[in-house]
Homo-oligomer: A and B are copies of this chain.
């Protein structure tokens, strides 16, 4: 394929900018045709101009109406995702949608239905599947190096909690933060979650508890293939972003440690010390954001299945809702109880 894929970006916030810049700098197979943001500002206009984007608009529908645009990236606020997916699909455009597609099962299902009907691609922004460490674990698992997976174990801790105001609209830790880990667990297990037990606590910030959420959690998963999973979450690790994955199986274990800014160790009278992990997701997943976009363009160009589908997004949501219910009802919850 020699022609470039024309891309429209809806939403020019932090994540929209990352995707747009990655395409502009690293992906000659695509071309930024238009960028829309409901709150267009001179700063965004200038930024878009530097990237050489011909169309800059406040109106996303202008992108959806543009027949030359083949794919859209939905990077607007979460509550608008599902509707834009439906509209984009109806307009015959391939869709890359930031996670989550929606916080309700009904809207996600409607979006998936529209995608299916339009026969377009839909990739959901679970970027961690493209992280070099986690991909390596998955490759080892898929190659049979650890035998049958028995325990999928994820450590996922943020360097700092979000503001309580954000917590209130985020849907809570499981829908906002752990949903990445549920997706990772399913990705590594190669199997669907069938049951969830979650224990939560408020140990980081009382305001999070006041907002009806927890900030520390241990989640146990049971998979259809018999494997067990466990995730531990904290909204605040003083040493930075802690993102580790281990898959343990009948023949061995594959474990990914954190990345850090350098490999340097300082030895002195106090001991031997190294650097903290890379600070947060922008640093740790910098290359993963590029890789996920390349994968999306590949799927579009070659008409192959996306590596993270709308169905993945739906399953991750179901698990997150089950975890939420588990904390509320203090019991183990089956996925079949949800939705």
Contact = CB atoms under 8 A, between A and B. Distances in A.
Contacts of A76: none
Given A26-B25, A201-B228, A273-B273, A248 B234 contact: yes
B237 A266 contact: no
A54 to B, nearest CB: 15
This chain: copies in complex: 4
B272 A239 contact: yes
Given A228-B218, A237-B248, A265 B255 contact: yes
A203 B216 contact: no
A266 B151 contact: no
A271 interface: yes
Nearest to A222: B199
Interface string A227-254: 1111010101111001000001011111
Interface in A191-214: 197, 199, 201, 203-204
A275 B222 CA distance: 31
Interface in A234-292: 234, 236-239, 242, 248, 250-276
A44 to B, nearest CB: 16
12 contacts: A133-B262, A133-B263, A136-B275, A199-B228, A199-B332, A238-B252, A251-B268, A252-B266, A255-B264, A256-B262, A256-B263, A331-B331
Interface of A: 25-26, 28, 50, 132-133, 135-137, 140, 145-148, 150-151, 153, 155, 157, 197, 199, 201, 203-204, 216-218, 220, 222, 226-230, 232, 234, 236-239, 242, 248, 250-276, 330-332
